[in-house]
Structure 1
């Protein structure tokens, strides 16, 4: 049996839908019943409630599991949550954990400057020392983060993308591409001790991104460079909690210092997944970009 944790989040739900699309049985761990409705009715999906921080709640979820895709929310005690889950999985006899991790693609990006990547590295090291078989799947920034309603997305009323990173290029990857790789990885053997890094097929400036959104929607969007201070003020005005604002401040500041981006397409090639160009992603989500 395969288990996917964090099954109702952005990444987890994409993976679960891909399992269902391929008609492959999978167990989906969720914590909040209010978010679990979308799991019900998907073919081959077995929803199971549990809390990664409470081992006693995971008995049913971990029973008979041979491989886990471990995902949890980045802003909710990620290190404590995932390390506790690793311990629980080991105690339950799970032999192999695939960590859905992350890695910034900026050339020269300093991991110590951004808590998000530091925490992923800490968890990876804990998993590697656990005695379990491990694999790391490391996507870069998601294309979905440009959608309205996300803290780094476009403003659909102003038709603007407001970012404090100047002319820096990023290499966003589609979440669905990562989900396809994740399912292929979970369904096959020989991945123990391996690391799979992923970006999209293009290194895009923010000007490039809005040009592609404009092309896909038939509506003019523009990039507005702003200062880091102004961006953080906007986030506070939108009600983001201060720890999240500070986390994003670290990310924006380091991205601004690293104007070039790697392209990592070897994982797509290994699993025979065609990389999604940003303009195709924008076309698929044209209604969302235009919705006010």
Structure 2
């Protein structure tokens, strides 16, 4: 469970939300690098996907229920905090911070988020507002902290996501016109997480991350076409049409409404910044979208 740090000390590391998109990528990267890690999960069925990974200890618990976290936090020096944005994120992460501090955790890294759009208004999207509120809470919590702020994930274009491509029609249907985004590969973020959690000198710092390109949705479709060898196209629609389609897929109206907030702001903000300082600081090679599409070609084609 322990890893040697640069100063020769040892630290037990906990990753919360270990079965989610981001958490599982981080846990897998720890395992790939041969660094032991502990993962916190709620759903035993989802935890099965990580059960055979070398060096990974899985512990069940609920971040909202401190009494269930004793085993998960035992001996932990550093924790990476991730939880779903669709379920009481502020209360969940605040509760965990206080529980972790009481348990003796020395350093918390918050897996946060920051839109790449130049001029994006954080107040226009509830998810961004909640991340900002949690960051402010953590800054005043009396515990060492680091903020990691990736932009939109490349993985959100995969067919199994709410905003992904249609693998049958080979279409990317989005309501943001010709605005540019700079999505980042979750695997890049996972590499940064491992490097950050196993090195020193990050207390009180924040690290923004985007992908290496600011792309229109038409350019994203072109990258998927090049990566898969199958033609994909971008189909621009109105916000109302996209919301109606999501609800028709079974997405709860509150979730569709939340997505509508971010779609509307992305449609308003036409240009995106590209921030690669964090990649460089931790020696991670940025993944271009076409390379992401190439390594996930089977998924894009629904196989």
Name the counterpart of 1:280: 291
Match of 1:64 among 56, 63, 75: 75
Partner in structure 2 of residue 227 of structure 1: 238
1:173 offset after TM fit, Å? 0.3
Counterpart secondary structure, 2:181: coil
Instruction: Name the counterpart of 2:117.
Output: 106
Unaligned runs of 5+ residues in structure 1 are none
State the alpha-carbon separation in 2 of the partners of residues 78 and 243 from structure 1. Answer: 15
- 1:210-221 residue pairs with structure 2 within 5 A? 210-221=221-232
- Of the candidates 1, 13, 21, which is equivalent to residue 32 of structure 2? 21
Structure 1 segments (4+ residues) deviating >3 Å: none
Deviation at 1:242, TM superposition (A): 1.2
Find out whether 1:208 has 2:237 as its counterpart. no
Structure 2 CA distance, aligned partners of 1:199 and 1:39?
Answer: 27
Question: Bigger shift: 4-13 or 211-220?
Answer: 211-220
**1:247-258 alignment runs, 5 A limit:** 247-258=258-269
User: C-alpha distance in 2, partners of 1:241/1:269?
Assistant: 39
- TM-score normalised by structure 1 residue count: 0.99
In structure 1, the partner of 2:179 is 168
Q: CA deviation at 1:78?
A: 0.5
Partners of 2:36 and 2:222 in 1: CA distance:
40
Q: 1:94 aligns with which of 93, 105, 129?
A: 105
Q: Distance in 1 between matches of 2:174 and 2:292?
A: 20
| 2:287 maps to 1:271 | no
Deviation, 1:216, is 1.2
**Cα distance in 1 for residues equivalent to 2:34 and 2:161:** 31
* In 1: Cα distance, 2:298 partner to 2:47 partner: 25
Please say if 1:149 is aligned against 2:160. yes
**Over aligned residue pairs, what C-alpha RMSD do you find?**
0.7
* Partner residue of 1:83 out of 94, 102, 127: 94
Report how many aligned residue pairs link the two structures.
292
Look up the match of 1:185: 196
Paired with 1:219 and 1:44, the residues of 2 have a C-alpha distance of: 38
Matching of residue 262 in structure 1 with residue 262 in structure 2? no
- What's the CA shift for 1:239? 0.6
Give 5+ residue unaligned stretches, structure 2: 1-11
State how far apart, in whole Å, the 2-side matches of 1:237 and 1:271 are. 42
Instruction: Provide the rounded CA distance (Å) in 2 between the counterparts of 1:224 and 1:41.
Output: 41
Q: Please report how far the alpha carbon of residue 64 of structure 1 lies from its aligned counterpart in structure 2 after TM superposition.
A: 0.7
